[in-house]
Amino acid sequence: MAERYGPKMVERMLDENWSVRLRPDLGGWDIVARRGDAGIEIVDSGDILRGETGTPKEIPLMLDLARAKGWTILTIEGSEDFRKQTAVAALEAGFDLADPELEQAARRSIHDQEPEEPEVLENEKAKQLREDLERQRQEAPNPKGRGSNPGDNWW
């Protein structure tokens, strides 16, 4: 195991109590990681990692295993939705994709999900904080012994 995935991944397998068994009928190692009630099952056939259900919950573990195996470029197969979700996650995790069209689509998707420019967000956040502070000042009762002059401190 350590030869294939490295000692850190084997330690994780042990810590998280994964079930790992050799399955010649599946063509490789059958890895089952349980998280709560959900089981995530990945089959590692050497040069192919295959999620048994093809659902998004398998993507992080597949990427972790690919990284542990030293892969840097991924070929992603499956349903179109699964391919897109995996491509986005793979790019965000630092992998490259063998399919240039899928990589471009994933990069566009990532770009579309990016928040506005930080200074725009900061200006909006500052404006909201000022409005909240002004509302609190207007709603706060006048503390005993203090005036309600504009320069008074309330805190």
H-run or E-run covering 97: strand 96-97
In a domain, 19, yes or no: yes
- Concatenating the DSSP letter of every residue in 58-69 gives GHHHHHHHHHHT
Max mean pLDDT among 6-15, 19-28, 80-89 falls in: 80-89
Q: How many domains does the chain have?
A: 1
| Averaged pLDDT score across all residues of the chain | 79
In a domain, 59, yes or no: yes
For residue 40, give its domain range. 2-113
In a domain, 148, yes or no: no
H-run or E-run covering 14: helix 7-15
Amino acid (one-letter) located at 61: L
pLDDT in tens, 51-103: 888 788 889 989 999 999 999 999 999 989 999 999 999 999 999 999 999 99
Q: Report residue 95 as tokens.
A: 């992998």
Name the pTM for this structure.
0.66
